[in-house]
Structure 1
Amino acid sequence: MQKIIDQWPFFLGRQRSFVVFLIVVFFLLPGCTSFMITPMVSPVVKNLNRQADLELVCDGVPAYLLLLDSMLVSKPNNVTLLLHGTQAYTAYASLMPECGRPERAAVLGQRAKEYGLRLIGRQKSLAGAERLPLAGFSEALQSVGPGEVDKLFWGGYGWATWIGLSKGAPAAVVDLPKVEQLMLRVLALDETFYHGGAHLFLGIYYGSRPVMLGGRPEVSREHFERALVLGDRRFIPTLVAYAEYYARQTFDRELYVRLLNEALAFDLALAPDLTLPNVLAKRRAKKLLAQVEDVF
């Protein structure tokens, strides 16, 4: 499950610049926060994925997280801030092993879940989603319209981040079917959202488990193929996940090698707005390709 989350890291900016920004924020009146969200936070988020320097990401993210936490104290129900907070904590939690601090991942994952559930809970019928029975949760999702897709998708990923870092704890794993339902609802409303991200999630979800434990390899393949189409084969995490969670699970060596080689050959300049996730996916592809003789 941890690998489901690993496909979604993104970048913020230089740490020193954000520390200066934070000092300015602390001297502003709480009522001014709403005026800062779009002109000062959103442009940062817009350019997160364009960064290729992983060390800079690891050093810079904490200041951005502190900024978001501080702004959410004064605007706890602001949807834009909750979106950015969920995305940031989800990404940074899954980046911790790459940053050399794997022990921090679980703490960050807890915050990703907190913001994710608050985001989902902005839809009144889904308030207290964690406590709702699965049947009631699924029924409530049917009343959610297309305008809420971003909340469902990112809220689901924040929740899934915590589950993925729970190391199989029953209290966490029991929530997975709810995340599945969230992603299925995203597909029903807008399957194109975030490069077919719900298809990618479900491809991994159905492909990562043995058939006897609920795995559905052919359904997994269909989701991966659809995600590749929707992402125009430019979102490289899809290629790598397809290899790792379908081709390897079904012992399809030819597909495994072909997908990974396609990922490694991809020109990053063709998708500059996806530089960081694609760089990280290429790193993963290289490692997986080196294991081919051990796997098959």
Structure 2
Amino acid sequence: MNVNLKKTYVYLMGLFLLLSGCSIKRIAFNGIANTLAPFPAPKSDASGGIDAAAALTGEDDVKLVSEVFPTVLKMYETLHLSNPKHRGLAVMSGSLYIMYANAFVQTPADYIPETQFQKKNLEYLRAKKFYLRGADYVMQSLDTAYKGFAEAMAHYTEDKSAAFLTRCKAADVESLYWAGCGILGAFALDPMDTDVFTSVPGAVAMLERAAALYPGFNAGAIWETLTAFYAAAPESLGGGADKAEDAYQRTLELSGGQRPSVYVLYAQTFCIPAQDSAGFDEALRKALEIDSANQPNNKLTITLSQEKARWLQKMKGDYFLGD
């Protein structure tokens, strides 16, 4: 082998090894991503995926989870930003932001007295920011699968945007759910934000499509979100008392009466506006009777919901005349 040919051979072998190393690194990275954030979310008989959130959702010490949650969230966000086309990482990062906004920013802000309006409002705006950041990450996942999806939902029209939703499959239900929750969560905290308001029809359409594809997702979680929206929104925006009642009945049926958040929702959404004091008491009693030990993977949400139920009991006089 002459010197020039040998040099060429060595160069090509070096280039091959370099590219192979990059390819192996990418494969390894995707393997980690598929394990930590499988897409679609695994069922009980899934192929090797893990429930990466179980260590959080199965914990009943709210303070412990609140302290570690930002670290877990930022770890997933870092992985997502390093691999933005991985749908599982996008959904996991987005859903964690939405969970954090709800459980550890908005809910504590709910407990701040109205006399501390500025402090309360600043926390609500912070929660809104996280809701939208989470929704944006999840929408990236949907946009990866259906190019133009995010823009279509942001400016929803029946003739153009609905076609995107018909393409969605059962594997997209988790993405549709979290994206819709993030947008509606932000809207509930700041309904005067015109950009968020414009996204509401698309958010509702995503949730309704998810409910059609998989009605029993997460024991009725989609219907629970729709109940809250239908009850609060005017008919012109897709709400209405009859739709709220129907959605609530679906939620109650699919949850098997084993999610305290459903009873808390009923107390706040139906009993307070109707000034149904007895119904309010009964709903909160049912919420507090649920034993989290029977649902080891849902201890966190049960604990948080029951804390809310106790707070509502304490604050009942602020909501009912004569109490």
TM-score bucket (shorter structure): 0.7 to 0.9
> Which letter does structure 2 place at the counterpart of 1:48?
L
2-structure distance, mates of 1:257, 1:271: 24
The within-5 A match list for 1:90-129 is 90-94=98-102, 95-97=104-106, 102=123, 104-124=126-146, 126-129=149-152
Range that drifts further, 113-122 or 204-213: 204-213
Tell me how many residue pairs correspond in the alignment: 269
On the 8 A contact 2:94/2:134 being kept in 1, the answer is yes
**Cα separation, partners in 2 of 1:238 and 1:122, compared to 1, 3 Å:** farther
2:205 to 181, 202, 209: 181
Aligned partner of 2:304 in structure 1 is: 280
- By how many angstroms is 1:43 displaced? 4.1
1-structure distance, mates of 2:156, 2:34: 36
1-structure distance, mates of 2:157, 2:140: 18
What is the RMSD computed on CA atoms of the aligned residues? 2.6
1-structure distance, mates of 2:235, 2:206: 22
2-structure distance, mates of 1:246, 1:142: 33
TM, length-normalised to structure 2: 0.75
Q: Deviations over 1:129-171 (max 9, x none)?
A: 3444322222321232223212211222233333344453122
Aligned partner of 1:75 in structure 2 is: 83
The within-5 A match list for 1:1-296 is 31-40=27-36, 42-94=50-102, 95-97=104-106, 102=123, 104-124=126-146, 126-135=149-158, 136-166=160-190, 168-209=192-233, 215-296=239-320
**Cα separation, partners in 2 of 1:109 and 1:148, compared to 1, 3 Å:** closer
SS at 2:53 equivalent: helix
- By how many angstroms is 1:250 displaced? 2.6
TM, length-normalised to structure 1: 0.81
Range that drifts further, 233-242 or 29-38: 29-38
1-structure distance, mates of 2:197, 2:154: 14
**Cα separation, partners in 2 of 1:121 and 1:257, compared to 1, 3 Å:** same
Name the % identity.
Answer: 21
Larger RCO: 1 or 2 (CA < 8 Å, sep 6+): 1
On the 8 A contact 1:123/1:144 being kept in 2, the answer is no
2-structure distance, mates of 1:225, 1:133: 28
Bigger radius of gyration: 2
